[in-house]
Structure 1
Amino acid sequence: MTSSIKTLAAVLALAAAPIAFAAGAMEGMDMKAPSASSQAARPVPAEIRKIDAQAGKVTLKHGPIENLGMPAMTMAFPVKDRASLSRFKEGDAVSVTFGKIDGSPAVLDMQRK
């Protein structure tokens, strides 16, 4: 019976080792959210390439969006205030504040330059 207890203790020790190792490995890790999500939204220069008022979307050629961690590119975004799209036309130079709506990148505010 003594050898059974020693065997059981050895098996339990081996089973617990990966858990203890993982816990120890996480001690030095920085568990903060990525810096992109912690940055305040700043206006980004952009050019309107297309407006889809019915869908409430605008396609923008924009600079880097730091608060979303996105590089410069051309992309369609939903617009928080669909009615505001009537004030703009394709080719307009704008300043855009981006954020997230329902977890997806979106235009929160857009002003003509």
Structure 2
Amino acid sequence: MKHIRTLALTLALAATPVAFAAGSMDGMDMKSMDMKGMDMKPSAASQQAPVPVAAEIKKIDAKAGKVTLKHGPIENLGMSAMTMAFPVKDRASLKNFKAGESVSVMFDKVDGKPTVVDMQRK
């Protein structure tokens, strides 16, 4: 009988913090909470405006609407220099370019993906 009382007391004590935590937010107005000390800013990459990036066209896939570029760092997307294929926002503009050309490119995220939003010959 002593073991049953000890077990019951142990279970009651173990359940108390869980019940307290579950009910501790009841009645709180989340809109009026003081958030001054919290960093609610978007990441640094999404805060920067797109700037022109020097690049060389390596390949154009007009059918897929993609261009492969050897590019410098893309600061606003937090990407280092590399060679990579990107979707192009204006697929029709690809007919104005050819592999081997030096271009100035503006990148931004479109539907969450790094995308060429503007491309001009140098």
* TM-score for both structures, normalised by structure 1: 0.76
Look up the match of 1:89.
Answer: 98
Q: Separation in 2 of the partners of 1:65 and 1:75?
A: 12
Kindly report structure 1 stretches of 4+ aligned residues shifted beyond 2 Å.
Answer: 10-16, 26-31
Q: Provide the alpha-carbon RMSD of the alignment.
A: 2.8
* Larger CA Rg, structure 1 vs 2: 2
Q: Give ranges in structure 2 of 5+ residues lacking alignment.
A: 1-8, 25-34
Q: Give ranges in structure 1 of 5+ residues lacking alignment.
A: 20-25
After superposition, the C-alpha distances for 1:52-78 in whole angstroms (9 at most, x for unaligned) are 011110000011111111111110001
Look up the match of 2:60.
Answer: 51
Secondary structure in 1 matching 2:84: strand
* TM-score for both structures, normalised by structure 2: 0.71
Q: Separation in 1 of the partners of 2:48 and 2:38?
A: 21
Look up the match of 2:39.
Answer: 30
Aligned residue-pair number: 101
